[in-house]
Structure formats: C-alpha cells, structure tokens
Amino acid sequence: MAQVAKQTTKAKGDSLEAAVHVLESAILKLSPLYNDKTFRIQGKKTISIAGVHHELDIWVSVELGHGYDSVFIFECKNWTKKVTKNDVIVFSEKIKVAQAQKGFFVAKTFTRDALAQAKADPRIQLLRVSEVALAEVPTFLQYFHAVEQTSCHANCNVKLKVDQETGEAYPLDLSTAKLVLDGQIQTMSAYIEDWSKEVVGETTNRFPSLTQPENTYTLPFEDMRVFENGMCFVNDKPVAHMKLTGHIEVRVWRGELESRFEVESRGRVFRAVVKMPTAQIIMSTHELMTGTPGTIMVLSSLLSRE
C-alpha cells in the first residue's frame, strides 16, 4: 500500500495550491460559457502595485466582454496552526490591490478573531480544507506502484526434427542463423528478440506486484514452441521445437500519497507519485461537489510522467 509522503513546509503548501488549482479549473470548465479566452486561471501570480509586490496563490479572471470582467483570488495555507486575524487582514489587502470581486481563503482552521475579521469584508469567503481519511482514498491510488525491468537474460535451445517424437540439439550462432517460418524468411536473432519480449511481458504481468514490498525480484521464465513438419527451418534444417529459458530482474517502486484534500463546497483531490531515479510517475484524480450537498461526481483522472 502507498505510504504517506513526508513533505517539507514548502511542499505541503504547494500540494494544497495544486489541489485547489485542479478543483477550480474543473469547476470553471463546467460553465456553459467556458473557453480558454473567457476564463483564465494562474498559480503563483505576482502583481506589483505602486512598487509593492503581492504574491497570489491562485488568480482567476473572467472576461465576458463589454466591461464584464471579474477577478477572483485564492489564498492557500496548509498549516497545522490556525489562521489569525492578521492573516485575514493581509488577504483583504490583496483582494483590494488585485481589484478582485471575491477572495477565497483556504485553510484547515481559523481563530475566532479571524472568523470575525473575515465577516468584516464581504468579499472574503473562508473555505475549510481537511485531509481525507486513508480508508477513503481510492484503492487504485492506495496501491499505486511501478514495476521496472532492470535486466534480462534469455537462452534459446533448438531441436532438429528426426521423427515426429524426438529431436537432436543443434548449436546456433543467432547473429547469422537464418529462420524460415511459414515460408517467411527472417533472422533468428530478430525472432528470438520478439519472442523474448512477449514472454518477458507475460512473466512481468503474472508477477503479483500489487502488494509486494519495494525491492528487486528475479523472475524465471520458460516457453516452448512446437512446429509441424515443413513449418519451420533453421539454416535449411527442419525444426522440431524451440525452448526459450531465462530470467529477468524487476524493481518494484511503491507510490507515495502526496495529497488527499477535501475543500468544503468545492471537492476532493487525490494525488500519488512513484519516485524513480530517472522519472516520476504521477496519478491524480479529483471529485467535485455538485448540486446537492454531499453529492460527489468523479470528473477525471490523470496519469503522467514528470
């Protein structure tokens, strides 16, 4: 099962911002008026007013034309401590300088003074965020993992036909041997390569990696191909059968749960990542709160490499 990722303070903040960005993008795309030119959403936007820089976690603009333009901003605090009234005052100033119609402050908890301060500015809406219980994380994310082949060794043993039942071993130089199969000529090395890929793929697929600990595993394989008279020839000699044996080594990489947020009245976002030396494989999914409170609609899933 995927472990919960250990994150730095910055990574925690970034993960919440990314989750809110996903939710708001999805909500915007549900609008019948949506198009890329009408709605724009941007993370980590910096604006400068009178030489003073203000950092906005998420900035949304709506341009319907003829002067009907609106701006909305989001502040995301993935803190264990409570948001204070001073934090709300600073956010109120950001709303002012951004000329935003509304600002959403997303955090886990707020002090009483923060709640009271937010009521003093009708443009502010507080949104509580919580971490979804591990048992409620989609199963495919809980067991998200990757299997990487690290090495492969294969041998092919060819038996020449003597009669219908027996055969004799035949040494081969695979780099020069000529294979005729069903009247089609090809090199023996190419045939063995294709055969090996097929058997290795089947061997890997049979490996019960879902619950295996992160480690390197050796998987043996064996496959036999039997040929009828006149069907297969190697270097013009009739072949009774070929036997492929070998082993592969695979590395199991377990995934980590990077985020499992629920933002009240907006939705949920889940994200897991497999961290490998040469790449990261990311899977995420989100659910929107739609219509009746408590109703969840699964909108989409994403699998990507970074």
Rounded-to-integer distance, Cα 68 and Cα 62, Å = 8
Pseudo-torsion of CA 38, 44, 45, 50, nearest 10°?
150
Q: Which residue has the higher pLDDT, 71 or 293?
A: 71
Q: Tell me which long-range contacts 59-62 makes (C-beta under 8 A, separation of at least 24).
A: 59/98, 60/24, 60/28, 62/38
SS3 56: strand
Q: What is the pLDDT, as a whole number, of residue 170?
A: 66
SS (H, E, C) 238-264: EEEEEEEEEEEEEEEEECEEEEEEEEC
Check: CB of residue 106 under 8 Å from CB of residue 118: no
pLDDT in tens, 127-178: 999 999 999 999 999 999 999 999 999 888 877 765 445 556 666 787 888 9
Q: What is the pLDDT of residues 251-263, one digit of tens each?
A: 999 999 999 999 9
List the structure tokens of 192: 């063995």
| pLDDT tier for residue 195 given thresholds of 50, 70 and 90 | very high
Phi, psi of 179 (to 5 degrees): -110, 135
Specify the pTM. 0.79
pLDDT of residue 297: 38
Residues with Cβ < 8 Å from 37, sequence gap 6 or more? 63
pLDDT level of residue 56 (50, 70, 90 thresholds): very high
Token pair 């495919």 in the structure block, residue: 140
d(CA 227, CA 191): 15
**CATH 3.40.1350.10 location in the chain:** 3-141+256-305
**Class at the top of the CATH hierarchy for domain 3-141+256-305:** alpha beta
Q: Where are the beta strands (DSSP E) in the chain?
A: 3-4, 39-49, 52-63, 69-77, 102-107, 124-131, 145-161, 167-169, 178-181, 184-187, 216-226, 232-234, 237-254, 256-263, 267-275, 280-289, 296-305
Among 18, 29, 93, 26, CA closest to 258: 18
Residues 6+ apart with CB under 8 A from 164: 229
R_g of the chain, CA atoms, integer Å: 30
Strand ranges (E), 162-263? 167-169, 178-181, 184-187, 216-226, 232-234, 237-254, 256-263
The answer, yes or no, to whether residue 66 has pLDDT greater than 80, is no
pLDDT digits (tens, 9 = 90+) for 261-290: 999 999 999 999 999 988 889 998 999 986
Chain centroid to CA 16: how far? 17
- Read off the pLDDT band of 63 (50, 70, 90): confident
Task: Say if strands 167-169 and 145-161 run parallel, antiparallel, or are unpaired.
Answer: antiparallel
Q: Residue 186: which of 174, 169, 197, 170 has the closest Cα?
A: 174
